A and B are shown apart, each in its own frame.
Chain A
């Protein structure tokens, strides 16, 4: 019944590895997002997709590549992981009219790069 689900919940990996985080929503929303929350709890948008099309791409290293196979899924692939990538990554979704309804967030993926 989870509205926005992310896997895995925890991810510990070594520097230089490539990893993926998956996100799925069952709310019928047409827009999905990735946010990064750093160690000071600051939340910053990374990407946004609307109906599988990239609409927001903030200043993010090109080692990060989102992929949206359909409007219910938005995955995040990270190449050549660095220590500074350690953070909690949140997936969220909204209707295109999300300005009025707000976002629904997943419970986050805590990535630790060692």
Chain B
């Protein structure tokens, strides 16, 4: 079975400050990990993905994430927050054994203060 835990349902950051969103996964087989962003009243958009190549993954809008197997983590970061980063962020896991089934974490809402 696979699962994802996102620590912190809400994160508040100041504009220009570091954004750090935490994601820990559980998987009995090598995982594939994703971060999605959901803007208000919209669908989910893929930010970045880890698929067993480089452990440091760069995505859109200046976000990046690092896969750490020893810590079973895939935390998302952005050096400098922008007002447009205010959204809900979801970490997700799947694997070949899971048959394409994406399992999502509970989401983290990011609030950016001016």
Chain A residues at the B interface, C-beta cutoff of 8 Å: 4, 31, 40-45, 48, 55-56, 90, 92, 94, 96, 98-100, 102-108
Contact = CB atoms under 8 A, between A and B. Distances in A.
A98 B100 contact: yes
Contacts of B88: 41
Interface in B26-42: 32, 34, 36, 38, 41-42
Nearest to B38: A41
Contact of A102 (B49, B95, B104, B109): B49
Contacts of B44: 43, 90, 92, 103, 105
A74 to B, nearest CB: 14
A92 B104 CA distance: 14
Contact of A45 (B34, B46, B101): B101
Given A55-B99, A99-B32, A43 B104 contact: yes
Given A41-B88, A99-B32, A56 B43 contact: no
6 contacts: A31-B100, A40-B106, A43-B44, A45-B101, A99-B94, A100-B49
Q: Number of contact residues on B: which range applies? A: 20 to 34
From B44, B45, B109, residue with most partner A Cβ within 10 Å: B44
Contacts of B94: 98-99
B106 A41 contact: yes
A110 B17 CA distance: 34
B106 A42 contact: yes
B51 interface: yes
Nearest to B31: A99
Interface string B46-61: 1001010000000000
B43 to A, nearest CB: 4
Contacts of A100: 32, 49, 51
Nearest to B108: A41
A27 to B, nearest CB: 13
Closest 3 CB pairs of A and B: A105-B43, A43-B104, A107-B43
B102 to A, nearest CB: 6
